[in-house]
């Protein structure tokens, strides 16, 4: 299927690995021009280098950074059609999961909201005027199924993502009549660096359960989370949904939330 993205200009945050990298790769393959934002580049992102890709090294904890990234799209490619707010998860220097409501203090809560909600709000604020200049655009906010089914862990993260879902709905109502579609993709547990890096979720759960880290990734975590598919989600499976949502093929889809969660959510 031709997603009709050739020549479109996109900004993708959290673009150096995991879901963000898969989104960048997919949009480039569909002919889009992409500004990829992340604190550091990676060999995988560097392998995509070309005239249609610009990497902007930024720390999105800096309140000015999202606006600089969006401005770079206008400078390099003349405007903006697509914004994918993918950056999220543990703020720099933090490892998740974190158990119990009393564990995160005020600083932890502030950092979590800065990274997972406020950075997206700031990017959207900068993007909307550029999209309106082009007669519309598409925004996808990457949230989490934990925004809808919270648990007694990562409570600050879950709350930030619930806020993102609310922002998405409000934006879709306000700007839909002006041609800007805003949707949410809510992944379940995805096999990304959050899980696989040393000291990440696999190691934390291995220590908590007494299982090996490979067993956590392959069976313990899927069983613990009652994943219908029996495995963690692949980043490309999320990227494919994002690409469809930012495509003109989804012209009548706005204010919606799509779970890519291996069957984690059980309600209808």
The per-residue pLDDT for range 136-190, each reduced to its tens digit, is 999 999 999 999 988 888 999 999 999 999 999 999 999 999 999 999 999 988 9
CB atoms within 10 A of CB 118: 18
For 59-87, what is the mean pLDDT? 98
Compute the average pLDDT of residues 94-117. 93
Digit-coded pLDDT (tens) for 204-233: 888 988 888 888 888 888 888 899 999 999
Are 183 and 256 in contact, with CB atoms under 8 Å apart? yes
CATH fold label, 9-190+235-260: Rossmann fold (3.40.50)
DSSP-based three-state secondary structure for 121: helix
**Selected residue with higher pLDDT from 33 and 209:** 33
Q: So what's the pLDDT on residue 164?
A: 98
Instruction: Provide the mean pLDDT of the chain.
Output: 94
CA distances (Å), origin 104, targets 16, 39, 79, 84, 154? 27, 24, 40, 28, 9
Residue 193 is predicted with a pLDDT of: 80
Confidence label for 56 from pLDDT (cuts 50, 70 and 90): very high
Q: What's residue 91's pLDDT?
A: 93
Domain boundaries, the chain: 9-190+235-260, 191-232
Q: Which residues are catalytic?
A: 157, 161
> Percent of the chain scored above 90 by pLDDT?
79
pLDDT at 268 over 60: no
Residue 257 is inside which H or E element, if any? Answer: strand 257-260
Distances (CA, A) of 239 to 21, 83, 234: 9, 13, 9
Burial track 191-216 (b if 16+ CB lie within 10 A, e otherwise): bbbbbbeeebbbbbbbeeeebebeeb
pLDDT at 151: 81
């Amino acid at each position: 299927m031709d997603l009709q993205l050739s020549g479109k200009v996109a900004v993708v945050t959290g673009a150096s690995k995991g879901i963000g990298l898969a989104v960048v790769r997919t949009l480039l393959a569909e002919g889009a021009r992409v500004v990829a934002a992340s604190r550091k580049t990676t060999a995988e992102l560097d392998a995509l280098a070309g005239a249609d890709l610009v990497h902007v090294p930024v720390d999105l904890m800096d309140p000015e950074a999202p606006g600089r990234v969006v401005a770079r799209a206008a400078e390099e490619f003349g405007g903006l059609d697509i914004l994918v707010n993918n950056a999220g998860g543990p703020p720099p220097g933090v490892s998740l999961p974190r158990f119990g409501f009393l564990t995160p203090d005020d600083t932890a809560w502030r950092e979590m909201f800065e990274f997972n909600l406020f950075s997206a709000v700031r990017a959207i604020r900068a993007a909307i005027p550029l999209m309106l200049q082009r007669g519309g655009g598409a925004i996808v906010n990457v949230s989490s199924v934990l925004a809808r089914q919270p648990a007694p862990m990562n409570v600050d993260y879950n709350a930030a993502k619930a806020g993102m879902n609310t922002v998405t709905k409000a934006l879709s109502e306000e700007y839909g009549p002006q041609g800007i579609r805003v949707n949410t993709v809510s992944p379940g547990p995805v096999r990304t660096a959050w899980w696989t890096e040393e000291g990440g979720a696999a190691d934390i759960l291995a220590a908590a359960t007494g299982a090996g880290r490979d067993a956590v990734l392959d069976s313990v975590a899927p069983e613990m989370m009652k994943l219908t598919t029996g495995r963690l989600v692949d980043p490309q499976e999320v990227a494919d949904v994002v690409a469809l949502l930012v495509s003109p093929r989804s012209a009548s889809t706005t204010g919606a939330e799509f779970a890519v969660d291996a069957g984690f959510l059980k309600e209808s």
